[in-house]
C-alpha cells in the first residue's frame, strides 16, 4: 500500500515545517488529493492515523480535499473538469480531444495548523 510511504514523507515535510515555525504541535493538516494522484483517500486516512501516533501529528485532524481533474482545451480554450479518472477525456464545451492537464495530478500539503506557541494573542 503506497499510501504509507506517502504519509511517511508527508510527516517528514510537516516536521520540517513545524521546526521552521519554532515548534508546537499540529492541530490540523489539510491536503489536496488529485484524482489522478493515485492516492486513495480512504487508505490515506488509515495510513495517517496509523503513522501519526507518537509523532508531531499525534492528535492532528486530517482534512482531505479531493481535487478533480481540470483540463484546458487546446482548440476552444474552454476548461473542463472531471470527477474521476477516465480513459478518454473530451472537452465539455466543444468536444475536442486536445486537452492540457492543469490540475488533479498531485497530492499537496495545503495548510498546517500549529498550536503550542503564544503569538501575542490573549490580550484582553
Ligand atoms: Zn474545447
Task: Tell me the pTM.
Answer: 0.82
Distance 66 CA to ligand 1 centre (A): 24
Distance 68 CA to ligand 1 centre (A): 18
Grid coordinates given for 8: 511517511
Distance 90 CA to ligand 1 centre (A): 8
Query: Taking the chain, what is the end-to-end CA distance rounded to the nearest angstrom?
Result: 50
- The Cα 23–Cα 44 span in angstroms is 25
- The Cα 29–Cα 68 span in angstroms is 20
pLDDT digit string (tens) for the chain, length 124 residues: 689 999 999 999 999 999 998 999 999 999 999 999 999 999 999 999 999 999 999 999 999 999 999 999 999 999 999 998 888 899 999 999 999 999 999 999 999 999 875 554 444 4
Structural domains in the chain, CATH included, are 3-115 (3.30.2320.80)
Backbone φ, ψ for residue 98 (5° rounding): -90, 90
Amino acid at each position: 500500500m503506497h499510501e504509507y510511504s506517502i504519509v511517511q514523507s508527508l510527516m517528514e515535510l510537516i516536521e520540517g515545517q513545524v521546526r521552521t515555525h519554532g515548534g508546537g504541535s499540529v492541530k490540523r493538516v489539510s491536503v489536496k488529493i488529485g484524482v489522478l494522484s493515485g492516492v486513495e483517500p480512504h487508505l490515506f486516512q488509515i495510513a495517517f492515523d496509523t503513522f501519526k501516533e507518537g509523532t508531531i501529528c499525534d492528535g492532528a485532524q486530517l482534512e482531505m480535499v479531493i481535487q478533480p481533474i481540470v483540463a484546458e482545451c487546446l482548440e476552444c480554450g474552454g476548461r473542463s473538469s472531471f470527477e474521476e479518472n477516465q480513459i478518454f477525456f473530451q472537452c465539455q464545451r466543444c468536444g475536442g480531444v486536445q486537452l492540457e492537464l492543469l490540475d488533479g495530478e498531485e497530492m499537496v500539503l495545503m495548510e498546517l495548523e500549529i498550536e503550542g506557541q503564544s503569538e501575542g494573542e490573549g490580550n484582553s
